[in-house]
Amino acid sequence: MPNVGRPSKGCKNCRDRKVKCDQKCPSCSQCLRTHRECYGYRDPLSLMFKNETNVVARKAKTRYEELSKQETSKSVGRKRSKVSSGDSTSSETLPSTPGSDQQVAINRHYSHPDVSKLRWEGVPSIEDDAIGFFLASYVITPTFVPRGQFDFLPEMLSGPNTEEILQRSVRAASLAALAMANKSLQLFKKAQQEYVSALALTNKALRSKQDVTRDSTLVSVILLGMYENFTHQSKDSLQQWVKHVQGACTLICLRGKSQFSGSIGTRVFQQFYGTALLVAMENGSQVPAGLSDMWELGTRLNDYSVPGKVWTTRLVRFMHNAINISGDKTSDPVAMVNTAIHLDRDLDEIGAFMPNIWKYETVYIEEPAEYVYGNSYHVYLDPWLAQMWNNLRAVRLILHKILRSELLKGLASCPPLFERSVAEAQIRASEQVIRSTSADICASTPQITGQIPFPDPLNARPSIEALFSDHFDPKDPRFKLHPPGTFWNPFRPTGLHNLIWPVYSLAECCMCPKDLREWAIQQLHFVALKIGARQAVVMANELKELQTLGSVEEIEARYRL
């Protein structure tokens, strides 16, 4: 398959007319101007190599025929010499059949293989490749912590009667992720086709009393939200994701208590509640009351007997309340400040319930590292723990940003709503919390981006008194810093997509230094290229715009901090 050069990427109409195509979407300017239907653009990579099998076979056949003629002439010459030098009986030898020598010569140089002896190997379809990419990037199976992400998906797909609605939704999300990771327009078109089919099946299921409460319907809605996340183009795309999440919230309430009767339903709800909290954080809205009530019901019904249940439930309640403050548009600054301070004190008390095995180790570096911001990095025992810690940090960033903003607003009022010395002391304290929390998010990044591995899974469930240091050797050379992606294991994803929002949260803060914001932009681009999350690119572009703003006041004015 030889390289045939650089083909034209334009649409068919422009190629036929031999005019330059600007390849705009959904139609090029030339087709719009001439009122023609634009049929899309060609994938240049697939056209750079041309199938020359028939040409090569024809040339080989011609070559074999030439060789056979040469062999035939030599064979005839040898026979004639034998006849002339042999005895009289040789003249009675029967002549050879015309063409037989030629056929022998051809067979000597070329013979067809026996098809029955060939080994046929199946080639996976592009859809199968995409699903494999999605599973390797987003499915996290539980270890000693009974929490994973999309760990229910392989179980649902491997069933004997997998619903078409689930198959279509998985293919749509998987193709979109693979298309964005490879920047393939052809794959993206396939993803769009699957998305349209999945959306039609989902709408049909939502109108059915029997199908609306099925696990496959809820998972399909979640996956369609993932599709919107992968194809994120601007802040407007966030609203499409929010609509899918709101639809899933409605389904959760319709499913009611019965969804906790099965393992899959319980795991789907637990993961979705975390997604709903994230959407509320990004959108600056409150968590739907019905959803939080359902979560409280689930914590009472599902008694997972593992260390850390008290810490997990209290931590999620803290995140829920802190997110609701960010969505509060009616309370006065005094009430907002008092609530935020009370919540932050609760967070210190929650830390006492954390099992020692869930805490992380900090490794300090003596010299600056190329891909690390700061002088240390963290080592966590499990990707889920790293996610929980960073979600907590992102929420705490929001809490202290609100606290700082409301204090500044109260001091600017006439008369001031706070005593200046007390308010300024709290502002300095909040700014210090923002800096230290941002540093912790930076320190968590090396392990999530594959610069160091996660420790090997524990063979047995550890006790409450166990220490993480008992399972981690800081002298192990694997835990020295390596380039990003070195320890990327498709059989054990690191939860790279969970890094997007925490990194963005620290970088969009008005107090963020420019070099830290530039580092955050690089991390978001790495995430986008590794797992095809287009949302990371959009957020990186927003941070680039912030880099052009000079002062803290300009950034505060933009975000009304």
- pLDDT tens figures, 482-511: 999 999 887 788 889 889 999 999 999 888
- Look at residue 77 and tell me if it is in a domain: no
Residue 57 has pLDDT above 80, yes or no: no
Name, of 262-276, 343-357, 420-434, the range with top average pLDDT.
Answer: 420-434
* End-to-end CA separation in angstroms for the chain: 59
| Average pLDDT of the residues of the chain | 80
Which tens digit of pLDDT belongs to each residue from 192-201?
Answer: 999 999 999 9
Higher pLDDT, 68 or 121: 68
Average pLDDT over residues 17-33: 82
d(CA 518, CA 9): 34
Three-state DSSP at 512 gives coil
Assess whether pLDDT exceeds 60 at residue 106: no
Q: What is the mean pLDDT of residues 440-449?
A: 96
In a domain, residue 299? The reply is yes
- Together in a domain, 508 and 533: yes
Q: Picking from 55-59, 296-300, 427-431, which range would have the lowest pLDDT averaged per residue?
A: 55-59
Are 130 and 246 in a shared domain?
A: yes
Asked, for residue 291, whether it belongs to a domain, the answer is yes
Q: Give the per-residue pLDDT at 407.
A: 92
Give the range with max mean pLDDT: 33-47, 266-280, 504-518, 541-555.
504-518
**Which of 235-249, 285-299, 403-417, 438-452 is least confident?**
235-249
- Of 66-80, 163-177, 286-300, which gets the smallest average pLDDT? 66-80
480: tokens are 């020295």
Nearest to 483 by CA among 367, 372, 365, 363: 372
Domain boundary among 304, 321, 349: 304
- The answer on 515 and 388 residing in a single domain is yes
Q: For the stretch 212-235, what's the b/e string if a residue is b when 16 or more beta carbons lie within 10 angstroms of its beta carbon?
A: ebbbbbbbbbbbbbbbbbbbbeee
Q: How confident is the model at residue 559 (pLDDT cuts 50, 70, 90)?
A: very low
The model's confidence at residue 538, banded by pLDDT at 50, 70 and 90, is confident
The answer on pLDDT for 93 being more than 60 is no
On whether both 455 and 394 belong to a single domain, the answer is: yes
Residue 412: C-alpha distances to residues 34, 402, 405, 406, 426 (Å): 59, 15, 11, 10, 15
* Same domain membership, residue 339 and residue 219: no
Residues 382 and 305: beta-carbon distance below 8 Å: no
pLDDT band at 89 (very low <50, low <70, confident <90, very high): very low
Q: What is the mean pLDDT of residues 395-412?
A: 90
Residue 560 predicted with pLDDT over 50:
no
Give 532 or 1, the one with higher predicted confidence: 532
| 334-393 per-position pLDDT tens digit | 988 998 898 888 887 887 778 888 889 999 998 888 899 999 999 998 888 898 899 889
DSSP 104-172: HHHHHH-----GGGPPP-----HHHHHHHHHHHHH-B--SSSS--BSTHHHHHHTSTT--HHHHHHHHH
130 with 53, same domain: the answer is: no
Least confident window among 219-228, 356-365, 433-442, 469-478: 469-478
What tens digit of pLDDT does each residue of 131-158 get?
999 998 888 887 777 678 888 999 899 8
Q: How far is 63 from 84, CA to CA, in rounded Å?
A: 32
Grade residue 441 by pLDDT with cuts at 50, 70 and 90.
very high
The answer to whether residue 90 sits within a structural domain is no
pLDDT value, residue 94:
40
Q: What is the mean pLDDT of residues 104-122?
A: 49
Q: Are residues 283 and 313 in the same domain?
A: no
Report pTM.
0.71
Does the pLDDT at position 1 exceed 50? no
Cα dihedral 160, 165, 168, 169 sign: negative
Within this chain, do residues 30 and 148 fall inside the same structural domain, yes or no?
no
Is residue 280 domain-resident? yes
pLDDT at 521: 94
**Of 51, 67, 83, which residue constitutes the final position of a domain?**
67
In a domain, 515, yes or no: yes
User: In this structure, are 331 and 477 located in the same domain?
Assistant: yes
Locus of tokens 């389904």:
251
Asked if pLDDT for residue 160 goes beyond 60, the answer is yes
Residue 52, pLDDT > 90, answer no
Residue 400 sits in the same domain as residue 530: yes
Could you give the C-alpha distances from 67 to 56, 96, 104, in angstroms and in order?
17, 20, 12
- Whether residue 110 is contained in a domain is answered as no
Single residue among 67, 94, 115 that ends a domain in this structure: 67
Domain span holding position 252 = 126-304
Residue 535 clears pLDDT 60, i.e. is over it: yes
Residue 238 burial by Cβ neighbours in a 10 Å radius (0-12, 13-18, 19+):
middle
Asked whether the beta carbons of 174 and 153 are under 8 A apart, the reply is no
Same domain, 149 and 251: yes
The total of structural domains in the chain comes to 3
Mean pLDDT of the 456-482 span: 76
**Higher pLDDT, residue 63 or 487:** 487
Mean pLDDT is lowest, of 70-84, 203-217, 447-461, for: 70-84
Q: What is the pLDDT of residue 153?
A: 92
Q: How much is the average pLDDT of 313-339?
A: 84
Instruction: Judge whether 450 lies within some domain.
Output: yes
* Mean pLDDT for the stretch of residues 83-101: 44
Check whether residue 265 and residue 146 sit in a common domain: yes
Q: In the chain, pLDDT over 90 holds for what percent of residues?
A: 26
